[in-house]
Chain A
Amino acid sequence: MTTETQNTVQFTPERLAKAKEIIARYPEGKQKSALLPLLHVAQEQWGWLSPEVMDYVARMLDIQPIEVYEVATFYTMFHLDPVGKHVIEYCRTGPCCLMGGEEVYAYLKQKLGINAGETTADGLFTLKEVECLAACGMGPVFQIREKYYTHLTNERVDEIISDLSK
């Protein structure tokens, strides 16, 4: 990587301060513990984790880039490819399916015209299938960033997609 690209990958001042505060939480010499929290902060800023971003986090924690790659590829929340503006993380696990989750999912896919792992042509929505989100009593459920959308029906899906398309 050239020095030039190294310099273009930078946390915003607020996120840099947040990152420093996170790193300082752990005992001396255990800064690697900050890795998952920092990857969340990075994904919040860039939407996904490019190799350049992961290298930046590695330098910040003084660890090898591979230590970041192996972690980022293990945990399903981290996006390793560019994503749309809204990433819909749809629960496909048993209890949600009992509540009609599969039917609503089929409707959502048809409505957006994409399958899991794809992004709509306008770049607004990426669809991702996830496992149980610990909201089984409110199924069917999907999540967009921090927000849970519960008790989904086709009508609810229409409303949500319409709101987010504005």
Chain B
Amino acid sequence: MGKKILLEHINVPGIETFDGYRKQGGYTAVEKALKTMTPEEVVEEVKKSGVRGRGGAGFPMGMKWSFLAKPEGVPRYLVCNADESEPGTFKDHYLMKHIPHLLIEGMIVSSFALGANKSFIYVRGELMYVIHILERAIEEAKAKGFLGKNILGSGYDLELIVQPGGGAYICGEETALLESLEGKRGNPRNKPPFPAVKGLYQSPTVVNNVESIATTPWIINNGGDAYAAVGIGRSTGTKLISASGHIKKPGVYEIELGVPVEEFIYSDEWCGGIRDGHYLKAVVAGGSSVPILPANLILKLANGEPRLMTYESLSDGGFQTGTMLGSGGFIVFDETACIVRNTWNFSRFYHHESCGQCSPCREGTGWMEKVLHRIEHGHGHMHDIDLLVDVARKIEGNTICPLGDAAAWPVASAIRHFREEFEWHVTHPQEATQPGAVYKGEMALV
């Protein structure tokens, strides 16, 4: 399962330059699309590919494109979401840094398909050095006639703008991102209207993740059907996985969707297994927001079959025994990791990053952080555990944007699968607050 669609040439020296990228077949998709295809035909290929949003939501990209309203005389926008901030996720950072022209080429093809003449790449402000890399790449592409007016004599004009964020996780939510791009606080918008109808500057807008846009050159060159032939079922193509935590080889890996989770963790091609002398305790498979699963459930479905790295297999069993592929932020925990401490850490994150618009999220994330803090620090009560479940339930589904759900799920799932560990913190406060102390009771280690 070594199929590479995005990272095939990542190690070629000079791939970050226009010439280096061009030598590996770069920008042929722009030539093909602009010279031989209509925008509708490009959309059709992307639809056929079945590629799903790689930022976390997994919504089919071609379908999202087909929702774009096209009123006469109103500009349309494509905005690339490069606000990568989900804990455990660093694939877009890697891709943009090493192979910036892949994103630029994808932006040209995608903008052409959508009829956008001014497109934006919104990059989290912390990645200012990556912004400079992208700006250099844009200058190069412009100098070679692949951006600007009348690209390759096709009559199609495109200007690409790289926009820095200012440090706010919430701007990864597409409507918050648009607010930010308009120079405002990143408060998510009520929907409808959806961005496809009223987005940037109240004009029809598509927002796509970096990795999603980067698939389009390959899809145009090889056809949507060829892309759909990679992967399994409705999980077509490849996915970048950001692997971190207690593994031998942390890093960004491109996998064909369908690789067994066990193989991904233990094969030398990818994570290389758990660090020496330790055992697998738990995994957060798709970025901090998705439910954490204990070792036995991440490796196998409830019915005992191997779990695969696909949208469907990871979510098999719902939240009782499953999780989500999410952004592909794959965080691995060995037996030295304290689930309570990690859950408190994640809760602090969501509390810090809540924009404050919706009461359930603004207040609830703070309550969860406080309650988890006291359990972790030896002042918890037994009823605090159910209190957390209750608060999480009351945030979930009751907010304008998915940050509320994202804050609730890690807490609810940690208690669902590791309740004994929370109870131990309450019943053994002295022991549990020693530096490096971890619950050592019965659990499934692999």
- Within the complex, which residue of A36, A78, A138 is in contact with B250, where a contact is CB–CB below 8 Å? A138
| A contact residues around B353 at 8 Å (CB) | 131
Query: Number of A interface residues, CB 8 Å?
Result: 45
B118 near A27: Cβ-Cβ < 8 Å: yes
Q: Is B93 an interface residue (CB 8 A)?
A: yes
A76 near B331: Cβ-Cβ < 8 Å: no
In this complex, what residue of B is CB-closest to A97? B345
Q: Is B360 an interface residue (CB 8 A)?
A: no
Q: Is B156 an interface residue (CB 8 A)?
A: no
Q: Is A9 an interface residue (CB 8 A)?
A: no
List residues of A whose CB falls within 8 A of some B CB: 25-27, 30, 32-37, 39-40, 61, 63, 67, 70-71, 74-78, 89, 92-95, 97-99, 130-139, 143, 145-148
Tally A-B pairs: CB < 8 A.
Answer: 148
Nearest 6 interchain pairs by C-beta: A75-B166, A77-B167, A35-B183, A32-B183, A137-B250, A76-B167
Q: Is B246 an interface residue (CB 8 A)?
A: yes
CA distance A89 to B345 in the complex (A): 17
A137 near B242: Cβ-Cβ < 8 Å: yes
Provided the pairs A75-B165, A77-B167, A130-B167 are in contact, do residues A136 and B349 lie with their beta carbons within 8 angstroms?
no
A134 near B166: Cβ-Cβ < 8 Å: no
Query: Number of B interface residues, CB 8 Å?
Result: 57
Provided the pairs A134-B127, A136-B242, A137-B243 are in contact, do residues A75 and B167 lie with their beta carbons within 8 angstroms?
yes
- Within the complex, which residue of B84, B182, B245 is in contact with A30, where a contact is CB–CB below 8 Å? B182
CA distance A133 to B166 in the complex (A): 12
B183 near A98: Cβ-Cβ < 8 Å: no
CA distance A36 to B92 in the complex (A): 21
Nearest CB of chain B from residue A96's CB, rounded to whole Å: 9
Q: A37-B164, A146-B128 are in contact. List 6 more A-B contacts (CB 8 A).
A: A36-B166, A37-B163, A89-B126, A92-B348, A98-B342, A131-B169
CA distance A132 to B288 in the complex (A): 10
Instruction: Tell me the B313-372 residues at the A interface (CB within 8 Å).
Output: 329, 331, 333, 337, 341-342, 345-346, 348-349, 352-353, 355
B183 near A34: Cβ-Cβ < 8 Å: yes
Nearest CB of chain A from residue B188's CB, rounded to whole Å: 13
CA distance A36 to B166 in the complex (A): 7
Q: Is B201 an interface residue (CB 8 A)?
A: yes
- Within the complex, which residue of A34, A89, A94, A143 is in contact with B288, where a contact is CB–CB below 8 Å? A94
